[in-house]
């Protein structure tokens, strides 16, 4: 008998590869379901989530208000910056005051990094481009500054760039909370059995990776876009940890605050309270 399918979408990044390793390689029980993976960049996943295409999908927390008619958030599988996060870099030394006068490349307007930028610098002018093209565009002078996500947070020094601000550091100083960047969302229309299975599988795949770190790292390294093993391990540790296994009360409070401040700043039209799968 053919197993019912659950579609799973996440980004082709080393941290996502690490946390989904056990599921991708059949290391965890799937409770009678076949989990079918699709990889895409986070802004594409945000846009597809607006249409409710996947059963379980990675999204930016900023995107949640726009996709909540289809999804609830999961407490497992989040990427949280606890005192660190997306950073603004430039080819020349810029002050924070200069940011109102320059154009900043961003990975997408539904990303949490974009929301954090707008909270930090409401008047910032932005230009959208693929996240993996931003650093090179800054280096070539095609844009004045760039908002780096993913591995760029570790590799910007290789390109002789100047760091203007780390938005995760700023958020931590302002709120005392971690910066919730990305999470997993689960389709509301799934029945109770499929919902329970998806939650169990998500928890088990993250738990397996954390308990079999070197094995999962061997798999994730091929998704690390040029990071050596030491830096890939560091990057994964930044975004796959105990808060990934369980967002907890502190993490859920941070999500709620992010969405409220986004609404108060006029970036998010509607005030939305995050709803998590129980």
The predicted structure's pLDDT at residue 223: 87
Locate 51 and state its tokens: 């249409």
The predicted structure's pLDDT at residue 160: 86
Q: What are phi and psi of 29, to 5 degrees?
A: -70, 135
Locate 165 and state its tokens: 């601000």
Query: Any idea which fold 5-81+179-264 has?
Result: D-Maltodextrin-Binding Protein; domain 2 (3.40.190)
Which residues are CB-contacts of 95 (< 8 A; sequence separation ≥ 6)?
Answer: 164
Look up 150 and say whether it is catalytic: yes
Whether the CB-CB separation of 152 and 93 falls below 8 Å is answered with: no
Q: Are strands 103-106 and 145-148 parallel, antiparallel or unpaired?
A: parallel
The predicted structure's pLDDT at residue 136: 92
- Residue length of the chain: 278
d(C-alpha 132, C-alpha 147), whole Å: 11
Nearest to 31 by CA among 220, 209, 207, 192: 192
The predicted structure's pLDDT at residue 157: 80
pTM summary value? 0.94
Q: How far apart are the first and last CA of the chain?
A: 30
CATH of domain 87-175: 3.40.190.10
pLDDT in tens, the chain (278 residues): 789 999 999 998 899 999 999 999 999 999 999 999 999 999 999 999 999 999 999 999 999 999 999 999 999 999 999 999 999 999 998 988 899 999 999 999 999 999 999 999 999 999 999 988 999 999 999 999 999 988 878 778 888 899 999 999 999 999 999 999 999 999 999 999 999 999 999 999 999 999 999 999 999 998 887 788 998 999 999 999 999 999 999 999 999 999 999 999 999 999 999 999 97
Range(s) for CATH 3.40.190.10 in the chain?
5-81+179-264, 87-175
Whether the CB-CB separation of 74 and 185 falls below 8 Å is answered with: yes
From the list 10, 150, 162, 212, the catalytic residue is 150
pLDDT tens for each residue of 16-75: 999 999 999 999 999 999 999 999 999 999 999 999 999 999 999 999 999 999 999 999
């Amino acid at each position: 008998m053919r197993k019912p399918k659950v579609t799973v979408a996440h980004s082709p990044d080393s941290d996502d590869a690490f946390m989904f390793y056990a599921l991708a390689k059949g290391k965890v029980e799937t409770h009678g379901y076949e989990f079918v993976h699709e990889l895409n960049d986070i802004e594409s996943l945000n846009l597809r989530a607006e249409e409710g295409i996947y059963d379980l999908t990675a999204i930016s927390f900023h995107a949640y208000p726009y996709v909540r008619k289809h999804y609830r958030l999961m407490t497992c599988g989040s990427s949280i910056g606890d005192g660190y996060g997306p950073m603004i870099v430039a080819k020349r030394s810029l002050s924070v005051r200069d940011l109102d006068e320059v154009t900043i490349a961003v990975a997408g307007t539904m990303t949490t990094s974009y929301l954090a930028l707008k909270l930090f610098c409401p008047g910032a002018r932005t230009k959208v481009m693929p996240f993996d093209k931003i650093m090179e565009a800054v280096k070539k002078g095609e844009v004045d500054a760039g908002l780096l996500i993913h591995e760029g947070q570790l590799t910007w020094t290789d390109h002789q760039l100047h760091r203007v601000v780390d938005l995760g550091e700023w958020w931590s100083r302002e709120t005392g909370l971690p910066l919730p960047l990305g999470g997993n969302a689960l389709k509301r229309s799934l029945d109770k059995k499929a919902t329970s299975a998806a939650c169990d599988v998500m928890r088990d795949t993250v738990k397996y990776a954390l308990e079999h770190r070197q094995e999962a790292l061997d798999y994730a390294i091929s998704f690390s876009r040029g990071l050596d093993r030491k830096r890939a391990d560091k990057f994964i540790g930044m975004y796959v940890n105990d808060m990934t296994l369980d967002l907890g009360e502190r993490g859920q409070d941070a999500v709620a605050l992010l969405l409220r401040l986004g609404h108060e700043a006029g970036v998010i039209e509607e005030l939305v309270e995050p709803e998590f799968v129980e």
